[in-house]
Amino acid sequence: MKNWIKRFTKEQIQRVVFIALLVLVFAVFFISLSIASSKDKPQPNDPVLPSDPSDQDKEENKDPEENQPNPPAPIEKESFVLPLRGDYQVVRKFYDASSTTEDQELAVIQFEKTYYISNGVAYMSPDKGQFNVIASLSGEVVRVDESPIYGVVITLKHENDIYTEYGSLTSSKVKVGDQVMQGDVLGVSGVCEYDSVLASHVFFKVLKNNVNQDPEKMIGKKITDL
- Which of these, 144, 149, 140, lies nearest to 171 by C-alpha position? 144
143 three-class SS: strand
Rounded to an integer, what distance in angstroms lies between the CA atom of residue 130 and that of residue 113?
A: 28
pLDDT at 37 over 60: no
Distance CA 17, CA 11 (A): 10
Reported confidence tier of residue 51, pLDDT bands at 50, 70, 90: low
Nearest to 186 by CA among 140, 132, 222, 138: 132
**How far apart, in whole angstroms, are the C-alpha atoms of residue 121 and residue 106?**
10
pLDDT surpasses 60 at 3: no
Sorted by where each begins, the domain ranges of the chain are 1-41, 89-225
Instruction: Evaluate whether the domain defined by 89-225 bears CATH number 2.40.110.10.
Output: no
What's the mean pLDDT in 144-160?
96
User: Strand, helix or coil at 11?
Assistant: helix
Q: Which of 194, 111, 199, 202 is nearest to 148 (CA)?
A: 194
Distance of alpha carbon 29 from alpha carbon 183, whole angstroms: 87
Q: Cα dihedral sign for 159, 160, 163, 164? A: negative
Residues 68-80, mean pLDDT to the nearest whole number: 74
pLDDT 10s digits, 185-218:
999 999 999 999 999 999 999 999 999 999 999 9
Query: Taking all residues of the chain, what is their mean pLDDT, rounded to a whole number?
Result: 84
**Among 84, 88, 90, CA closest to 216:** 90
Confidence of residue 4 (pLDDT cuts 50, 70, 90): very low
Q: Please say whether the beta carbons of 141 and 159 come within 8 A.
A: no
pLDDT of residue 24: 67
Cβ(104)–Cβ(160) under 8 Å?
no
Write the CB contacts of 197 (distance below 8 Å, at least 6 apart in sequence).
110
Instruction: Please report which helix (H) or strand (E) contains residue 17, including its range.
Output: helix 10-40
Q: Is the pLDDT of residue 128 over 50?
A: yes
Position 31 scores a pLDDT of: 66
Task: Indicate yes or no: pTM above 0.85.
Answer: no
Q: Output the CA torsion 103→107→111→115 (10° steps).
A: -90
